[in-house]
Amino acid sequence: MIDLVVRGDAVVTPQGVGAFDLAIAGDRIVAVAAPGSLPVLDGARLIDATGKIVMPGGIDPHVHCKWFLPNPDGTAGLTDPPDIVSRAAVHGGTTTIIDFTRCSQGASVQDAIARREEDWKGHSACDYAQHLMVEGALPVTLFAQLAEAIQAGFPTVKIFTTDITPSRKGRMVDFGDIWEVFQVLAANGGVGVIHSEDNDIVMHMYGKLIREGRPEFVNLAEVHNTLSEDISFRRVIRLAEQVRGTALYMMHTSAASGVSAIREARARGVPIYGESLHQYMLYTNEDYRRPNGQIYHTYPSLKSVEDQAALWAGTLDGSINCVATDEICCTLKQKIQGARIDDTTGGNAGVEPRVALMYTEMVGRRGYSLSRFVDLVASNAAKLMGLYPRKGALAAGSDADICVLDPGDRRVIRAADLHEADYTPWEGRQMLAWPCLTMLRGKVVMEGGRFLGGLDDGRWQHRKVASEIISGPCL
Ligand SMILES: [Zn+2]
């Protein structure tokens, strides 16, 4: 029994873009058919998306909700919870977001997972999943728990190779422990999702700039620099190559040196994939000098025009596979409260405009195909994070997670019109399309800018990464 048909003339399917009818029964797509070839029975709704773009719902594989936010005075707060971030995601055509569970926040990994689920269950308007974050000196009991969690649907493990700032000691995992985690990943079909910077270089530069009386945040690119990304990426990759079957996803790649390290490893057959962030694609360290320049920052740091060009080139040669946000949803006051290299707030608000912004930049301004754009904002994340083809595809059997983008809606982004934070790093940007409808598992949760969903719509997603992703670079 078909409940709903979405008819479009630019429907982005895994087989290509064209005119199709998507038939939806319950929460699934049950057929992708020639227009008009399916019977739309009484009681079924026909959504006519002619002239619009029909694509899988966006997937943001890197968001932080209800997240520890250090203040410059040493106290800490929490960023906005899933209640707000997931709703903003839905407004922007994103239907799945992946956050982080800190394994240290429980008696065991399993306990930490159960506690984190309490933050999400009944608090999310979109579907969600969790990366497992390991930090600091890893207890020997952790490895067996990680293996169990990977098998239970949490196949991605976040690892830091740096403490990021001098005040955040306790995040960095040493290379011996990373080696042990890689063995667990390889044996269980997991993927290492890495925050990779060379801690020695980064901490050396903090000391040097503070000594030289140059602690202003505009100098962040000197601290979290391209040399650090070069050395650290290559060291992590070298370690992974010693543990056969270790797949890597390099989070927030920011520099040409990182892109090169990924590209060269892929040429050797290493199963490695790159993520960059929307702000790294579109801002440089020169933007730190603009008013409230902290709003463009997230760690590691914005880099040069040349680095930015390398990130874009990476989206064409396969070394950059996903564009995420590193969402940290907080107020402008919190985002700009730190103004030093060692206390500037990281992360960025952007889960809502990400899909439209990337459509504008990729399809509108750079001539990317609709398929490549959809790969970069949805399908590749689904594949790498173990959600495909349930998510990230308009295909029979897939969840009916759909974003309809309207190229007739050429709005200018204003923070006041968005549903996250009280600022946006994209203020004043002209868009070339905007989502006019979002569907989550067959339910229309946003239409014409009106939120029609609920905070109990979102479901945790069991994930399993396909063996092709792990056996070699396949995207
Ligand atoms: Zn992050």
Q: What is the DSSP string of 391-407?
A: SS--STTSB--EEEEET
**444 Cα to the center of ligand 1, angstroms:** 29
Cα(137) to centroid(ligand 1), Å:
20
How confident is the model over 365-393, as a mean pLDDT? Answer: 98
Confidence (pLDDT) at 118 = 98
Q: Does residue 357 surpass a pLDDT of 90?
A: yes
Query: Who contacts 140 (Cβ-Cβ below 8 Å, separation ≥6)?
Result: none
**If residue 89 lies in a helix (H) or strand (E), which one and from where to where?**
helix 82-91
Q: What is the mean pLDDT of residues 233-260?
A: 98
Q: Are 405 and 355 in contact (CB under 8 A)?
A: yes
Residue 36 CA to ligand 1 center (angstroms) comes to: 45
Confidence label for 72 from pLDDT (cuts 50, 70 and 90)? confident
What's the chain's length in residues?
A: 475
Mean pLDDT calculated for residue range 279-287 = 98
Model pTM above 0.95:
yes
Q: Mean pLDDT in the chain?
A: 97
What is the chain's Cα-based Rg? 21
Q: Give residue for tokens 């962030």.
A: 277
Q: What is the mean pLDDT of residues 19-35?
A: 97
Q: How far is the CA of 326 from the centre of ligand 1 (A)?
A: 5
Instruction: Please report the DSSP string for 119-159 in residue order.
Output: HHTTS-SSEEEEEEEE-SSPPTTHHHHHHHHHHTT--EEEE
The pLDDT of residue 1 is above 90:
no
Distance of CA 7 from the midpoint of ligand 1 (Å):
37
Residue 43 has pLDDT above 90, yes or no: no
**What's the 428 CA to ligand 1 centre distance in angstroms?**
25
Residue 113 has pLDDT above 90, yes or no: yes
Residues 347-354, mean pLDDT to the nearest whole number: 96
In whole angstroms, give the CA distance from residue 465 to residue 260: 25
* C-alpha 64 – ligand 1 centre gap (Å): 6
**347: nearest Cα among 119, 159, 141, 69:** 69
Distance 117 CA to ligand 1 centre (A): 19
The closest of 288, 165, 311 to 224, measured between CA atoms, is 165
**Predicted pLDDT at 41:** 81
The stretch 246-259 carries a mean pLDDT of: 98
Q: How far is the CA of 407 from the centre of ligand 1 (A)?
A: 31
Average pLDDT over residues 201-210: 98
**pLDDT greater than 90 at residue 40:** no
Chain segment 162-192, per-residue pLDDT in tens: 999 998 889 999 999 999 999 999 999 999 9
In the reported structure, the alpha carbon of residue 423 is separated from the centroid of ligand 1 by a whole-number distance in angstroms of 19
- Residue 28: the pLDDT is 98
Please say if the pLDDT value at position 70 is more than 90: no
Cα 351 from Cα 237, distance rounded (Å): 29
Beta strands 191-195; 247-250: pairing state: parallel
Distance (angstroms) between ligand 1 centre and the Cα of 348 equals: 9
Segment 35-61 shows an average pLDDT of: 94
Dihedral over alpha carbons 372, 373, 379, 382 (to 10 degrees): 130
Distance 98 CA to ligand 1 centre (A): 11
**Cβ atoms of 256 and 380 closer than 8 Å:** no
Residues 6+ apart with CB under 8 A from 144: none
Q: How far is the CA of 422 from the centre of ligand 1 (A)?
A: 20
| Interval between CA 405 and ligand 1 midpoint (Å) | 27
Q: Residue 313's pLDDT is what?
A: 98
Tell me the two tokens of residue 128: 């969600």
The band of 198, judged by pLDDT with boundaries at 50, 70 and 90, is: very high
Q: What is the whole-number distance in angstroms between the Cα of residue 67 and the centre of ligand 1?
A: 10
Distance from the alpha carbon of residue 301 to the mean position of ligand 1, in angstroms = 12
Give distance in angstroms: CA of 39 to centre of ligand 1.
46
Mean pLDDT of 203-222: 98
pLDDT above 90 (res 74): no
Q: How far is the CA of 325 from the centre of ligand 1 (A)?
A: 8
DSSP-derived 3-state class of residue 41:
coil
User: How far apart are the C-alpha atoms of 57 and 6, rounded to whole Å?
Assistant: 14
Contact 323, 282 (CB under 8 A): no
